[in-house]
């Protein structure tokens, strides 16, 4: 599932041919709101493959995002050069968030061909 997280997080980054500097606080604040919203949209794995409402998904994702950002905060550089640093740290945080979500809501996960096939979510 690592590629799934990378693709989702990369989609959150600004599209530009030039590097953009973003301070850590702004990046963390943006990820705190953007990541749960993006991962909990109705067409995403975390909604399609778990029996949860949009609200429950976003609550769980927000909590996981807060915890994962806190764990990574001391390692994230004070200035991130986008898109490279955003992709790197977004992948790390996104993987942590996705794994935490799965562990938290494992009893709500659908066990079917679509949800069990990782290629459907990359």
Q: Mind giving me the DSSP string for 3-29?
A: HHHHHHHHHTS---SS-EEEEHHHHHH
Question: For 79-93, how does the pLDDT look when each residue is reduced to its tens digit (9 = 90+)?
Answer: 999 999 999 999 999
Q: What is the pTM of this model?
A: 0.81
3-state helix, strand, coil in the chain (%, to 5): 65, 10, 25
Question: For 25-67, how does the pLDDT look when each residue is reduced to its tens digit (9 = 90+)?
Answer: 999 999 999 999 999 999 999 999 999 999 999 999 999 999 9
| pLDDT (mean) for 109-116 | 94
Task: Check residue 1 and give its pLDDT.
Answer: 45
């Amino acid at each position: 599932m690592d590629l799934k997280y990378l693709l989702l997080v990369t989609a959150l980054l600004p599209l530009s041919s030039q590097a953009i500097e973003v301070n850590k606080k702004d990046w963390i604040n943006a990820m705190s709101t953007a990541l749960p919203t993006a991962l909990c949209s109705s067409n995403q794995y975390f909604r399609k493959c778990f029996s949860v409402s949009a609200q429950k998904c976003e609550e769980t994702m927000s909590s996981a995002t807060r915890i994962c950002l806190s764990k990574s905060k001391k390692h994230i550089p004070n200035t991130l050069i986008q898109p490279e640093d955003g992709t790197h740290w977004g992948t790390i945080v996104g993987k942590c968030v996705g794994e935490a979500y799965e562990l938290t809501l494992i009893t709500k996960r659908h066990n079917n061909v679509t949800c069990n096939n990782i290629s459907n979510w990359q």
